[in-house]
């Protein structure tokens, strides 16, 4: 068992990627606005993330392919379908990650602004954070930085767990919210956001690539699955802790959540005046780490699809990653409210998820790639249920945006 814990790696990285400012923001809005009613969305999203990430990791470990590469090979005999698929994937990833990147940068800036309100305008702070992320990407030192940032996020995790214990949740309402799905009036965008902040589409590409580098053969699948279940499960628990803490301390208070200081109020019963600085540290760490991983994941996906070297120091890779970072920086610097940017990013992820999930399911059923390790009945049933639910939620969100519903 000890050796299995030592093997944890790719799952922890992808889990850290979705424990970003969007997690804190969206879960706080959910708890403050609807109490424990939406816990079920996080439970569903966590289970769904484990199911999909396991398929992605299997492609990396057994087929020795990234997700994008596997999809291209699956459609190799039909060139038109192959390039249409590649275009759809890149468009979905670029749009989703650019929106997500804007939320990452805005979230990190929100943390700095909360801790040091006397600093320059939010636009300058966001631009500075984008520059830091760009320099880390350019010089390739992101791995060491990620470890530091993950440690900071873990501090925030312990803070929310401690706060929840001190406040004391309504356990009956919490259990009911986890087991009985419901969508209160006006809560649908938050539901979509909770799913989008947990099942991040680009993580499927990142996880496949990371698993391929970490493990070598089908004999490592048990470690691969343990890694995904434990790491992503912990990430889901973090999200539930944030929501539950907000529900216990903010629900029914009538307070509007518009900045980090408002979100920090959920930690005040446990940490008093230090709550703002603690939350600010977590938001900055989570935002910067995600601002690095989102462009990287898009670069890896583009490299797999268009057959250039998967190396962050290659010019083509840097162009793709830099474009995502640049668009995200522009979104964050424009002056829009960070809470709204972050929530939009999570909704965009929720809408784009079914597209990527369909491609993943198709690739995971390839006997040519996976042989005896291709999806069986149980994996396909679970994957189809997750994809259908995500598709229905995404379609409903799209129709609501058009004013049809």
DSSP string, 334-353: T---HHHHHHHHHHHHHHHH
Q: For residue 101, give every residue at least 6 positions away whose Cβ sits within 8 Å of its Cβ, in sequence order, or none.
A: 291, 294, 295, 324, 325, 327, 328, 329, 331, 332, 345
Distance CA 374, CA 328 (A): 36
pLDDT of 186 higher than 50: yes
Residue pLDDT, tens place only, 75-112? 777 778 777 777 777 776 777 777 778 878 887 887 78
All structural domains of the chain, each given as residue ranges with its CATH number in brackets, are: 2-401 (1.20.1740.10)
Q: Which two tokens stand for residue 167?
A: 């406040």
The pLDDT-based confidence of 348 (bands split at 50, 70, 90) is: low
Q: For residue 379, give every residue at least 6 positions away whose Cβ sits within 8 Å of its Cβ, in sequence order, or none.
A: 51, 55, 364
pLDDT of 1 higher than 50: no
User: Contact, 58 vs 364, CB < 8 A?
Assistant: yes
Inter-CA distances, 96 with 44, 91, 170, 341, Å: 21, 8, 36, 12
- pTM for this one? 0.80
Residue pLDDT, tens place only, 8-32? 455 556 666 666 777 777 888 899 8
What pLDDT does residue 194 have?
84
pLDDT of 178 higher than 90: yes
Tell me the pLDDT of the chain averaged across its residues.
78
User: How many CA atoms lie within 13 Å of 43's alpha carbon, on the beta-carbon side?
Assistant: 15
Looking at per-residue confidence, does 342 or 364 come out higher? 364
The pLDDT-based confidence of 37 (bands split at 50, 70, 90) is: very high
Q: Which two tokens stand for residue 276?
A: 């703002």
What pLDDT does residue 3 have?
47
């Amino acid at each position: 068992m000890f050796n299995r814990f030592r093997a944890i790696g790719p799952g922890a990285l992808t889990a850290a990627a979705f424990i970003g400012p969007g997690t804190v923001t969206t879960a706080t809005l959910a708890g403050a606005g609807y109490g424990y009613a939406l816990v079920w969305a996080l439970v569903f999203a966590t289970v769904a993330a484990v199911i999909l990430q396991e398929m992605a990791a299997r492609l990396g470990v057994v087929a020795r392919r990234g997700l994008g590469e596997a999809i291209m090979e699956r459609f190799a005999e039909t060139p038109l379908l192959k390039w249409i698929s590649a275009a759809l994937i890149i468009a979905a990833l670029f749009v989703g990650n650019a929106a997500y990147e804007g939320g990452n940068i805005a979230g990190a800036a929100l943390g700095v602004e909360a801790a040091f309100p006397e600093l320059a305008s939010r636009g300058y702070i966001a631009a500075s954070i984008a520059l830091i992320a760009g320099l880390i990407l350019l010089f390739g030192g992101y791995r060491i930085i990620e470890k530091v940032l993950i440690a900071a996020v873990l501090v925030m995790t312990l803070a929310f767990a401690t706060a929840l214990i001190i406040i004391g949740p309504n356990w009956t309402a919490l259990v009911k919210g986890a087991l009985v799905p419901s969508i209160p009036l006006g809560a649908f965008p938050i539901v979509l956001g909770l799913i989008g902040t947990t099942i991040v589409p680009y993580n499927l590409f990142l996880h496949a690539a990371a698993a391929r580098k970490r493990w070598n053969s089908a004999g490592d699948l048990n470690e691969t699955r343990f890694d995904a279940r434990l790491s992503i499960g912990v990430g889901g628990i973090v999200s539930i802790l944030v929501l539950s803490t907000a529900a216990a301390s903010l629900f029914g208070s009538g307070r509007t959540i518009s900045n980090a200081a408002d979100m920090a109020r959920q930690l005040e019963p446990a940490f008093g005046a230090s709550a703002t600085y603690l939350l600010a540290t977590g938001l900055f760490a989570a935002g910067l780490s995600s601002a690095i991983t989102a462009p990287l994941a898009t670069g890896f996906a583009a490299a797999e699809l268009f057959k250039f070297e998967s190396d962050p120091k290659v010019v083509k890779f840097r162009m793709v990653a830099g474009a995502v970072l640049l668009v995200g920086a522009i979104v964050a610097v424009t002056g829009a409210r960070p809470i709204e940017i972050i929530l939009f990013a999570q909704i965009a992820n929720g809408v784009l998820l079914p597209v990527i999930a369909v491609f993943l399911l198709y690739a995971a059923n390839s006997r040519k790639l996976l042989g005896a390790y291709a999806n069986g009945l149980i994996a396909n049933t679970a994957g189809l249920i997750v994809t259908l639910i995500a598709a229905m939620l995404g379609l409903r969100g799209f129709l609501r945006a058009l004013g049809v519903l």
